[in-house]
């Protein structure tokens, strides 16, 4: 069994302007299972109102506001400082912290900023990246949110006819068949919405397959095939030498540049029976996690999500790893 430090699980809730992020969080905070929760609200403008809306939903919740700029673009460590103060001020240890991004932020950019903040990562464990989709304006949802999310919540389904809501779900499922799609109007169960990280927050056990979600493939695109389209690659190969693998991934990252969005992997180590779990968001690679022997099956599986322009770099990585199989979703 993995040993889990009692750190709050940090989840990021992203989505466009007016998508319903604040309303979703407010309803979640009213549920009995959401006690001991902190919320950090990031407002793009100078004046924030979302934190005022959340206060009545859970008077005992710890709330913080980061105003005047997106988390992903702000210099410094405002987020980690807000989280530190929140944890210190809580009368009881926090179970989870939710970060509501501004409506103009990109989900992968926020995750990358969190990954680069070693102080913050020492205080929390990263859990779920949640994308909120507005059922009344599905075309305004950015493909990047769908591709990088661990969970997707469709809001305002009560404002569209059932056939339209079903069509939206089918469209999302076609874009990313590996991600659970939840109905925001039905008040998602926190146990289903969260707990998407490598370690099961309830049992402390490694949940490698659920975290990796390597089954199926992702192919998200805008109107027509262009350089902005988003694809995923599943690279399957045998055991790897960690030093060489890290060099290959760094080489791929440099070649892909900003087109690389997210990488996850469970890698069989040639020198150790215990596999390694890898995670990278944009150019920020997280420290590898050594799993238990039981978590491996002798295979290395790496999922890369990137824009179409990264294809040569990703396919070169697969070639260098002498992949047994490279699954590429082709439009």
Nearest to 144 by CA among 128, 157, 133, 160: 133
Single pTM value for the model: 0.84
Q: What is the mean pLDDT of residues 79-86?
A: 91
Q: What angle is formed at CA 199 by the lines to CA 11 and CA 10, rounded to 5 degrees?
A: 15
Tokens of 77: 């460590």
Q: Which tens digits make up the pLDDT trace of 5-51?
A: 478 999 999 998 889 998 999 889 888 888 899 999 887 544 444 54
Tokens of 230: 């988003």
Residue 228, pLDDT score: 67
Q: Indicate the burial class of 82 (C-beta count within 10 angstroms; 0-12, 13-18, 19 or more).
A: buried
Q: Which tens digits make up the pLDDT trace of 113-137?
A: 888 888 998 999 989 999 999 999 9
Tokens of 127: 């859990």
Q: Which tens digits make up the pLDDT trace of 274-330?
A: 999 999 999 888 888 898 888 888 889 999 999 989 999 999 999 998 765 555 444
Q: How far apart are CA 123 and CA 227, in angstroms?
A: 38
DSSP H helices, the chain, are 21-29, 50-54, 78-89, 107-116, 118-123, 143-148, 162-175, 190-193, 208-212, 242-256, 311-320
SS3 of 209-257: HHHHCCCCCCEECCCCCCCCCEEEEEEEECCECHHHHHHHHHHHHHHHH
Measured on CA atoms in the order 259, 243, 235, 280, is the torsion positive or negative? negative
Residue 222, pLDDT score: 45
Tokens of 185: 């109007």
Q: Which residue has the tokens 């990246």?
A: 129
């Amino acid at each position: 069994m993995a040993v889990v430090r009692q750190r709050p699980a940090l989840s990021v809730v992203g989505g466009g302007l007016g998508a319903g992020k604040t309303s979703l969080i407010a309803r979640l905070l009213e549920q009995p299972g959401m006690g001991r929760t902190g919320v950090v609200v990031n407002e793009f403008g100078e004046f924030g109102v979302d934190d005022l809306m959340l206060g009545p939903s859970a008077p005992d919740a710890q709330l913080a506001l980061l105003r005047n700029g997106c988390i992903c673009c702000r210099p410094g460590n405002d987020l980690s400082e807000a989280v530190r103060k929140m944890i210190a001020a809580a009368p009881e240890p926090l179970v989870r912290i939710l970060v509501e991004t501004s409506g103009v932020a990109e989900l992968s950019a926020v995750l990358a900023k969190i990954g680069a903040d070693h102080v913050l990562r020492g205080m929390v464990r990263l859990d779920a990246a949640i994308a909120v989709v507005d059922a009344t304006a599905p075309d305004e949802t950015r493909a990047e949110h769908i591709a990088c999310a661990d969970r997707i919540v469709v809001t305002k389904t009560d404002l569209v006819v059932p056939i339209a809501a079903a069509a939206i779900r089918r469209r999302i499922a076609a874009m990313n068949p590996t991600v659970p799609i939840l109905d925001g109007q039905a008040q998602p169960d926190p146990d289903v919405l969260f707990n998407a990280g490598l370690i099961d927050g309830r049992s402390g056990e490694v949940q490698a397959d659920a975290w990796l979600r390597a089954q199926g493939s992702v192919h998200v695109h805008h109107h027509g095939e262009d350089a902005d389209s988003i694809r995923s690659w599943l690279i399957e190969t045998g055991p790897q030498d960690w030093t060489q693998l890290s060099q290959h991934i760094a080489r791929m990252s440099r070649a892909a540049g900003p087109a690389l969005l997210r990488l996850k992997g469970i890698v069989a180590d040639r020198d150790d029976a215990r596999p390694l779990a890898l995670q990278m968001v944009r150019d920020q690679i997280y420290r590898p996690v050594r799993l238990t022997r039981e978590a491996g099956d002798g295979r290395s599986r790496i999922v890369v999500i990137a824009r179409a322009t990264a294809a040569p770099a990703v396919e070169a990585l697969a070639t260098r790893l002498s992949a047994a199989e490279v699954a590429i979703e082709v439009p």
